[in-house]
Chains A and B, each alone.
Chain A
């Protein structure tokens, strides 16, 4: 079946603008994760969802970042008033559950460039 998909694949925006990044998880996966990959910070956890709830949003860097998930499926990560330091690849992953044994399957990412 289809893997995790993300859109857009690339996004260039101007500083101060808002952006929305979308993630479509694998069908039937109840857990969904967002990570950020940047040169200086490596791969960082941002937030995860179990169903439509976010038990852990500890990785969101500031209140400019928010995420939601609706219908237990699609998730949107929103960055308001983007800054240059937000430039990174945003990766989404999904898994059947959230247990430690679960494999997280990653999408190809959205590459965000803030000018």
Chain B
């Protein structure tokens, strides 16, 4: 069955430090992968998505993610975190021929001043 795992439930980084959020997926075919961010009391906002081509994907707000098929991973990165990046981040896969997204459990990011 398709699944997404985000191993880190909670991460704390200092403002200005680099960030990497991990995501591993289980899916037999070419995955369609997404990262969403949810700020407190808000809906989910798409950061970036991958479906083919270049394995390094650029998104909004300075985020990028790298697809590694050999590791079944799609990790999210940012070179320098801002206090406004504090939020919950969700990795998701969209299985073929379905309408749904399958989400990981989410990673809560806290940013220290």
Name A's B-contacting residues (CB within 8 A).
3-4, 31, 33, 35, 42-45, 48, 50, 55-56, 59, 91, 93, 98, 100-101, 103-109
Contact = CB atoms under 8 A, between A and B. Distances in A.
Interface stretch (B14-22, B78-86, B95-103): B95-103
B100 A33 contact: yes
Interface residues of B, number: 23
B75 interface: no
A108 B42 contact: yes
B63 interface: no
Give the interface SS of chain B, mostly helix, strand, loop or mixed.
loop
A105 B45 CA distance: 7
Contacts of A31: 99
Contacts of B104: 42
A33 B90 contact: no
B99 A107 contact: no
B77 interface: no
Given A42-B105, A100-B94, A33 B43 contact: no
